Amino acid sequence: MRNIIMLGLVSFFSDISAEMVYPLIPLYLTSMFGATPALIGVIEGIAESLASLLKVFSGSVTDKRGKKKQVAFVGYAAGVVYKAILILAGSWVGVLAARVIDRIGKGIRTAPRDVLVCESANKSQLGKAFGIHKALDMAGSAIGILISYLLLNSTTYHFAYRNIFAVSVIPAFIGLFMFYFIKEKKKDRTIQKREPFWRNMKKLDGQLKMYLAVAFVFTLGNSSNTFLLLRAKNVGFRDTDVILLYFVFNLTASIFSMPLGRLSDRIGRKKLLVTGYLVFSAVYFGFAFGSSRAAIVVVFVLYGLYTAMITGAERAFIAEISPVALKGTMLGMHSTVVGIALLPASVIAGLLWDGFGASAPFLFGSGMSLAAAIVLIFFIRNANIPAGHVSTS
């Protein structure tokens, strides 16, 4: 449990840093460089997709070489480089470069960090373990957003966007320091000849391959969160109030992540995943037609609840049905599949917004989520499969 808390604290401080910046990006791009929703979609899509290609390879390296702690450290250190480039950026191209560096870091760190969580948890409490980690992660996000909001509204000192980017480097360094307290399990390092992971894909359990397909379909409608922030601004919220809405989302996710992760241990992953997808569909429907500030506040709260439902259950589900020797690879593969879908998702959302209005991308996302939920109901079984199982069919 101590290791899980330490890993959570790494994410806690790193996310304070990241979320001091993230909700400002669409506002920064539109106010400083005149970016359109379509351009923002391209920037976010490219950054997410290019970086996500690294996740499966990061997971594969983790499985083959070990050294999960060191690989994860490198990934988190990229966050410091991201802030430095962002401060120096003189155009949207510079912002794109900074976002790519940030997402590359996420691509490197996600799989080894998740494997460390798996190895530090009781097998019967994987949902709880990922829930604890996600709760600390989202708590850091909420605090980072609140700090950004307070600095942006400071009447004593003038904190421009770049000033906030500079301050955000401090918690990033604290997060890196927390790695000192993380212990990695020693394993037999006997070198074995192993085939590249893609040659073993046919041997994977059909449920795992099906879920990866479901995740891809769902993500096609799950565009970047920047569109949620733009939608709030479109309804009439001020820039500073948009940041506060994002705080509400993260706070909600933090509060419910651990109890919902534990719930998935008791009732099975499928029920929670299906419910999460249905809630997401309702949330995007709300973003499509919500025209009042009260309605937007409600859907941001529900979006936080969806995040708490999905994150722990999803990672625990993948960890349970992945072969032991490919656990990191499959966690990385899931992130890569999601990342590949994020480019067309964000581009489609931006084009739909520009071409048909602000409601269009959210209606599309609501429909894709509903389709993913239907596939989960009829084609994914609920029973937990023993870790390490590989289909022989």
Please give the average pLDDT of every successive group of 10 residues along the chain, which has 393 residues.
Answer: 87 91 83 80 73 62 70 89 89 87 82 80 76 86 88 72 90 92 68 50 70 88 84 84 86 90 84 93 93 90 93 80 72 76 82 90 94 87 45 31
Using CA atoms, how far residue 101 sits from 59, 86, 303, in Å, is 18, 10, 27
pTM of this prediction? 0.73
Confidence (pLDDT) at 50 = 67
Confidence (pLDDT) at 391 = 35
Total of domains in the chain: 1
- Residues near 163 by beta carbon (within 8 Å), at least 6 away in sequence: 151
Q: Could you tell me where the DSSP H helices lie in 89-205?
A: 92-119, 126-152, 161-167, 169-177
Residue 194, in any domain of the structure: no
Cβ proximity of 285 and 362 under 8 Å: yes
Confidence (pLDDT) at 382 = 59
Residue 67, in any domain of the structure: yes
Residue 82, in any domain of the structure: yes
Confidence (pLDDT) at 287 = 93
Residue 171, in any domain of the structure: yes
List the one residue out of 151, 215, 119, 162 whose CA is nearest residue 31.
Answer: 162
Residue 222, in any domain of the structure: yes
Print the domain residue range for 222: 2-182+200-379
Asked whether the CA dihedral 290, 294, 297, 298 is positive or negative, the reply is negative
- Residues near 48 by beta carbon (within 8 Å), at least 6 away in sequence: 103, 224, 339, 342, 343, 346
Residue 392, in any domain of the structure: no
Confidence (pLDDT) at 298 = 94
Structure tokens belonging to residue 390:
């590989």
Residue 245: which CATH number? 1.20.1250.20
**7 Cα distance to chain centroid:** 16
Using CA atoms, how far residue 8 sits from 13, 105, 123, 178, in Å, is 9, 17, 18, 10
Cβ proximity of 372 and 277 under 8 Å: yes
- Which amino acid does the sequence have at 380? I
Residue 389, in any domain of the structure: no
Residue 190, in any domain of the structure: no
List the one residue out of 4, 2, 5, 47 whose CA is nearest residue 22.
Answer: 47
The SS3 of residue 385 is coil
Phi, psi of 168 (to 5 degrees): -65, -15
Using CA atoms, how far residue 350 sits from 36, 43, 205, 358, in Å, is 8, 10, 36, 9
Structure tokens belonging to residue 253:
């996710």
